[in-house]
Amino acid sequence: MPSLTNEISDRFLIKLSGEAFGTHEKGVDLASLDLVGGELLHAWRERPRFAVVVGGGNFYRGRSSNSAVIGRVHADYVGMLATVMNGIILQQWIEAQGLASEVLSALPVGSMCKSYSPAEANALLDSGSIVILAGGTGCPFFSTDTTASLRALEIGAKTLIKATRVDGVFNRDPEKDNTAIKYDVLDFDDAISERLEVMDATAFALCRDNDLSIRVLNIGVAGNLLRAVCGEEIGTLVTGRSFNHD
């Protein structure tokens, strides 16, 4: 079991998109699950005491649902259930590696996993479990990015790490435009005003207003997550702390 001598200020919140687990066509791809799980374990062995918020876009994405078939509110609840599925799958993968893990869901799902509360999450982190947070906020109209921002604040995380498929935040989508320019450091207000879509404006504003930095990195590059929790400057840092606008 890793040492638990770190202070609460050393906690991190890691946001994994559903696409980290596989494509919408496949649901969960075992190679992707092994990659993501392995990166989490490498980081955990060096810096324990982090929680993981999972998305559900590999199964279902509420905001892009067909509104002629299902309304937005119900679509969002289906999306929350998709995050619970990913959470349970990740938890089972982690436990198969011999580590303790627990899924907490903000959306009540009966006996499959415990209900989320900040007190329960913090107690599990203190006990040495890898805590997986699913079910979004439990309410429609909020993204899992906003969920991650909220949960990071509730567990006293010093940084929110958003693990994506690209190397940070760019001025345009680098998967569609190979001339896109990457930011090394970015101010929250600029990220919001320029509508950079790596996270939604609500998530950005919540982090800005509570002095919570965001580190955006590529989870597909071996060791990136480990380097981030060890304080290396990789990907893009979104912050409001280090800028002097005078």
Q: Is residue 139 part of a domain?
A: yes
Q: Is residue 81 part of a domain?
A: yes
Name the strand (E) or helix (H) holding 130: strand 130-134
In this structure, are residues 102 and 124 in contact, taking their beta carbons and an 8 Å threshold? yes
Q: Is residue 197 part of a domain?
A: yes
Please list the helix, strand and coil fractions of the chain in percent, rounded to the nearest 5, in that order: 40, 20, 45
Q: Is the pLDDT at 179 greater than 80, yes or no?
A: yes
pLDDT tens by residue, 10-51: 899 999 999 899 877 778 999 999 999 999 999 999 998 899
Q: Supply 198's token pair.
A: 């790596």
Q: What is the CATH number of the domain that holds 225?
A: 3.40.1160.10
pTM of the model: 0.90
Q: What is the domain count for the chain?
A: 1
Q: What is the pLDDT of residue 5?
A: 36
Q: What is the dihedral of CA 241, 184, 18, 11, to 10 degrees?
A: -40
Q: What is the pLDDT of residue 238?
A: 96
Q: Is the dihedral of CA 164, 165, 170, 171 positive or negative?
A: negative
Name the strand (E) or helix (H) holding 78: helix 72-96
pLDDT tens by residue, 44-53: 999 988 999 9
Task: Print burial letters for 80-92: b (CB count within 10 Å at least 16), e (below 16).
Answer: bbbbbbbbbbbbe
Q: Is residue 103 part of a domain?
A: yes
7 — pLDDT class (breaks 50, 70, 90): very low
pLDDT tens by residue, 183-239: 999 999 999 998 887 899 999 999 999 999 999 999 999 999 999 999 999 999 999
173 — pLDDT class (breaks 50, 70, 90): confident
Q: Is residue 157 part of a domain?
A: yes
Q: Is residue 245 part of a domain?
A: no
Mean per-residue pLDDT for 111-130?
A: 95
**Average pLDDT of every residue of the chain:** 90
Q: How far is CA 219 from CA 29, 55, 139, 232, 234, in A?
A: 15, 14, 28, 15, 11
Q: Is the pLDDT at 127 greater than 80, yes or no?
A: yes
Domain range for residue 86?
8-239
Q: Is residue 246 part of a domain?
A: no
Q: What is the pLDDT of residue 63?
A: 66
Q: Is residue 3 part of a domain?
A: no
